[in-house]
């Protein structure tokens, strides 16, 4: 066993050293990437603040180190011949004034040191907050630039947690490197110089050994604690992600009565967080105890050396209290070394995770100097388009069709045929893997994405609204729209009267994801939003499939009104909504199986006719069932009425 233990332990030690080296390199790389935000080339005012903060920081440390001299001089004055009653030697006034003035000077020195520190913090506050704002804004913009694939694979709660931790990590790095670590090193250097000059090398040796042991112990213990903190943060992120996921799916939880399951699932994450948190606090107690023992031993040795020197007459009482004051002042920044190291490492890890998000390459990119899409006729053409999420599972295979200007083309087919993928490709949520998509003869990959999406309006099947007012959600289609234009869009979407009947009208809050509105009301808001956008191209992605028949008819009337004169692509499941389309394309297994008008496809007797027949039969069966239930209900009511009546 012992033969194998040696190499294994050595291998583990080397692996740990390699990991620490990688962490160190990663930490330096992170600081280098963060530095332009702290020292912004385009903000000379902030750079001036950084310079002034460093100057004030240095002044604060100089004052801090030399304050103990006033303590020494005051002590010597108080225990000297004048304080002992030899008023004849210097006069009573001098005997009283000198110690008092020295005590006042000592107090003023402490006040100045604190004042300089506060001025430093005030000067640097704008610098750190500006860095947090710039990097946070950049991360937010980048998240919106990433592909739909990225967001479908990530938990929203975990993603927001990473951004939140990253922004806090910036503050930790700025605070601990510039405002704590650098000043602490400066204070050590100044204190070492004072001790070497005023006392002797024995004191300096004791203090150097104490600080080295203190820092070594702190780093070792903190590295041990960082693993625990990472586990705690991972549990925290997991719990947050599960909480957000569960709350976003509030209705689904209620539908299935799975509140206990969700609570248990969340509690398991909290239990993991609890265990890691307990380990964190326990390890902190051991860290603080070890730090106290190491520093106390060093202080005792220095005090013993000074006490012996006082008894020998080579030092004064003032020297004894001075060395004590210097060590106490050194202990204050030393007490924070563990916290600084830990928070710095955590801050670097959090910012590194945020930079890792920024390093995720957007799947869909604009080409260099891509021009805006020039829309005239708004003709959409798919030429031999192929697409796959996974090469082993193609979704679209050599699909070609055209939506002429002002015409309506419908895409229908069984589930999984690739219908919704067509709308996602048109919006450039993904780029085609074969063929091309043209708008007015322009390949949408050659123009910038913003101009493509500005030309297309979307009414999706599942309308998700922002947790804001109805007015905000409608105006989202065109934020600069006037109130009159807003009301006109709502009226065209047949929701204006409903909104005006509400107590708060357009200022009514719709709730999380629009849960305060019915499905039909949300769809009308989505239609009004698209009307306000006024796009030349309209995409209706199963916009009525989630609605009841009565609401579907009403929404369909609004959609027909909106699509008039626009190039419209309808992706539908219910064939009854596309019978008036200029052309119907039937997809099957990613290929176009049939195409033509409704009557032509019915006459062919193929897949479309089969789907139409099944849906008609289902609709007729549902209608018969409804009539039977209504008749049965009426019969029950009649049977319950006495014959005399």
Asked if residue 382 has pLDDT above 90, the reply is yes
Asked if residue 644 has pLDDT above 50, the reply is no
Res 437: pLDDT: 92
Q: Which residues pair with 437 in a beta bridge?
A: 382
Res 643: pLDDT: 41
Q: How many CA atoms lie within 13 A of 423 on its CB side?
A: 25
Asked if residue 150 has pLDDT above 60, the reply is yes
Q: What is the DSSP string of 317-386?
A: HHHHHHHHHHHHHHHHHHHTHHHHHHHHHHHHHHHHHHHHHHTSPPSS-PPTTPBPP--SS--EEEEEEE
Res 9: pLDDT: 39
Res 7: pLDDT: 40
Query: Are 353 and 162 contacting, i.e. CB atoms less than 8 angstroms apart?
Result: yes
Instruction: Give 94's pLDDT tier (boundaries 50, 70, 90).
Output: very low
Q: Which residue has the higher pLDDT, 315 or 546?
A: 315
CATH fold match for the domains 2-358 and 380-608 = no
Write down the H helix ranges in 39-91.
44-79, 87-90
Read off the pLDDT of each residue in 611-617 and give the average, rounded to a whole number.
83
Read off the pLDDT of each residue in 178-204 and give the average, rounded to a whole number.
75
Q: What's the pLDDT tens digit per position in 480-530?
A: 889 999 998 888 888 888 898 988 888 988 887 777 888 778 888 888 888
Q: What's the pLDDT tens digit per position in 338-373?
A: 667 767 777 777 777 778 777 777 777 888 888 888
Read off the pLDDT of each residue in 306-327 and give the average, rounded to a whole number.
80
In three-state secondary structure terms, 415 is: coil
Read off the pLDDT of each residue in 52-63 and give the average, rounded to a whole number.
75
Q: What percent of the chain has pLDDT over 70?
A: 78
Res 626: pLDDT: 66
Q: Which residue has the tokens 């004169």?
A: 565
Read off the pLDDT of each residue in 23-50 and give the average, rounded to a whole number.
70
In three-state secondary structure terms, 628 is: helix
Read off the pLDDT of each residue in 402-417 and give the average, rounded to a whole number.
87
Q: Which residue has the higher pLDDT, 549 or 304?
A: 304
Instruction: Give 101's pLDDT tier (boundaries 50, 70, 90).
Output: low
The residues near 549 (Cβ < 8 Å, ≥ 6 apart) are 619
Instruction: Fill in the DSSP letter of residue 367.
Output: P
Q: Which residue has the higher pLDDT, 32 or 600?
A: 600
Q: What percent of the chain has pLDDT over 90?
A: 6
Range picked from 188-202, 434-448, 628-642 for highest mean pLDDT: 434-448
pTM value surpassing 0.75: no
Instruction: Give 383's pLDDT tier (boundaries 50, 70, 90).
Output: very high
Query: Are 327 and 301 contacting, i.e. CB atoms less than 8 angstroms apart?
Result: no
Read off the pLDDT of each residue in 313-331 and give the average, rounded to a whole number.
78
Read off the pLDDT of each residue in 41-49 and give the average, rounded to a whole number.
74
Res 384: pLDDT: 93
Query: Are 225 and 284 contacting, i.e. CB atoms less than 8 angstroms apart?
Result: yes
| Domain spans in the chain, listed from the N-terminal domain onward | 2-358, 380-608
Helix (H) or strand (E) holding 495: none
| Window from 103-107, 308-312, 366-370 with minimum mean pLDDT | 103-107
Q: Which residue has the tokens 């697409």?
A: 387
Tokens, residue 557: 């009337």
Res 82: pLDDT: 44
Res 119: pLDDT: 76
Distance from C-alpha of 610 to C-alpha of 1, rounded to nearest angstrom? 74
Domain 380-608, CATH class in plain words: alpha beta
Instruction: Give 3's pLDDT tier (boundaries 50, 70, 90).
Output: very low
Q: What's the pLDDT tens digit per position in 202-241?
A: 888 888 898 889 888 888 887 777 777 777 877 887 888 7
Q: Which residue has the tokens 């916290």?
A: 339
Distance from C-alpha of 160 to C-alpha of 241, rounded to nearest angstrom? 9
Q: What are phi and psi of 480, to 5 degrees?
A: -85, 5
The chain-wide mean pLDDT, for the chain, equals 76
Q: What are phi and psi of 213, to 5 degrees?
A: -65, -40
- Of the candidates 415, 394, 378, 356, which has an alpha carbon nearest to the alpha carbon of residue 574? 415
Query: Are 452 and 439 contacting, i.e. CB atoms less than 8 angstroms apart?
Result: yes
Domain 2-358 sits in CATH at: 1.20.1560.10
Helices 44-79 and 182-198: crossing angle in degrees, nearest 10, is: 30
Read off the pLDDT of each residue in 588-605 and give the average, rounded to a whole number.
89
């Amino acid at each position: 066993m012992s033969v194998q233990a040696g190499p294994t332990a050595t291998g583990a030690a080397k692996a740990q050293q390699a990991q620490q080296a990688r962490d160190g390199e990663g930490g330096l790389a992170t600081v280098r990437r963060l530095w332009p935000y702290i020292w912004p080339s385009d903000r000379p005012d902030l750079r001036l603040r950084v310079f002034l903060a460093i100057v004030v920081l240095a002044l604060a440390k100089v004052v801090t180190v030399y304050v103990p001299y006033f303590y020494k001089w005051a002590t010597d004055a108080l225990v000297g011949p004048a304080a002992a009653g030899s008023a004849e030697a210097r006069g009573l006034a001098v005997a009283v004034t000198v110690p008092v003035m020295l005590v006042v000077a000592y107090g003023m020195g402490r006040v100045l040191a604190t004042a300089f520190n506060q001025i430093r913090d005030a000067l640097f506050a704008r610098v750190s907050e500006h860095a947090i704002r710039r990097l946070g804004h950049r991360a937010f913009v980048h998240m919106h630039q990433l592909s739909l694939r990225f967001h479908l694979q990530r938990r929203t709660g975990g993603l927001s947690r990473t951004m939140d931790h990253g922004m806090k990590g910036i503050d930790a790095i700025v605070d601990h490197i510039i405002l704590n670590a650098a000043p602490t090193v400066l204070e050590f250097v100044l204190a070492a110089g004072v001790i070497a000059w005023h006392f002797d090398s024995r004191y300096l040796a004791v203090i150097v050994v104490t600080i080295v042991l203190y820092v070594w112990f702190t780093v070792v213990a903190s590295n041990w604690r960082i693993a625990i903190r990472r586990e705690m943060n991972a549990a925290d992120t997991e719990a947050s992600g599960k909480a957000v996921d569960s709350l976003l799916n509030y209705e689904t939880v209620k539908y299935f009565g799975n509140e206990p399951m969700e609570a248990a699932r969340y509690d398991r994450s909290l239990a993991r967080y609890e265990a890691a948190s307990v380990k964190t606090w326990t390890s902190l107690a051991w860290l603080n105890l070890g730090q106290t023992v190491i520093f106390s031993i060093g202080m005792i040795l220095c005090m013993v050396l000074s006490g012996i020197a006082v008894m020998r007459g080579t030092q004064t009482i003032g020297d004894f209290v001075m060395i004590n004051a210097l060590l106490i002042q050194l202990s204050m920044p030393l007490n924070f070394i563990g916290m600084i190291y830990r928070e710095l490492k955590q801050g670097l890890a959090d910012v590194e995770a945020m930079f890792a998000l920024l390093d995720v390459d957007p799947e869909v990119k604009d080409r260099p100097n891509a021009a805006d899409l020039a829309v005239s006729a708004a003709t959409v053409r798919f030429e031999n388009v192929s697409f796959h999420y996974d090469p082993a599972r193609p979704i679209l295979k050599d699909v070609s069709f055209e939506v002429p200007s002002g015409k309506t083309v419908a895409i229908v087919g069984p589930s999984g045929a690739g219908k919704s993928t067509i709308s996602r490709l048109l919006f450039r949520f993904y780029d085609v893997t074969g063929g091309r998509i043209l708008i007015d003869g322009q390949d949408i990959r050659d123009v910038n994405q913003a101009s493509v999406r500005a030309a297309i309006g979307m009414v999706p099947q599942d309308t998700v609204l922002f947790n804001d007012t109805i007015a905000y959600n409608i105006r989202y289609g065109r934020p600069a729209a006037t109130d009159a234009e807003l009301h006109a869009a709502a009226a065209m979407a047949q929701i204006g009267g409903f909104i005006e009947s509400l107590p708060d009208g357009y200022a009514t809050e719709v709730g999380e994801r629009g849960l305060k509105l019915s499905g039909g009301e949300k769809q009308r808001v989505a239609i009004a939003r698209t009307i306000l956008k006024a796009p030349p191209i309209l995409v209706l992605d199963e916009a009525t499939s989630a609605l009841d028949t009565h609401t579907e008819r009403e929404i369909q009337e609004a959609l027909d009104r909106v699509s008039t004169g626009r190039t419209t692509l309808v992706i539908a499941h219910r064939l009854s909504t596309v019978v008036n389309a200029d052309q119907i394309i039937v997809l099957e297994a990613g290929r176009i199986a049939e195409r033509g008008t409704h009557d032509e496809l019915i006459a062919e007797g193929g897949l479309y006719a089969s789907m139409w027949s099944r849906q008609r039969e289902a609709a007729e069966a549902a209608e018969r069932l409804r009539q039977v239930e209504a008749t049965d209900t009426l019969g029950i009511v009649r049977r319950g009425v006495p014959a005399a009546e």
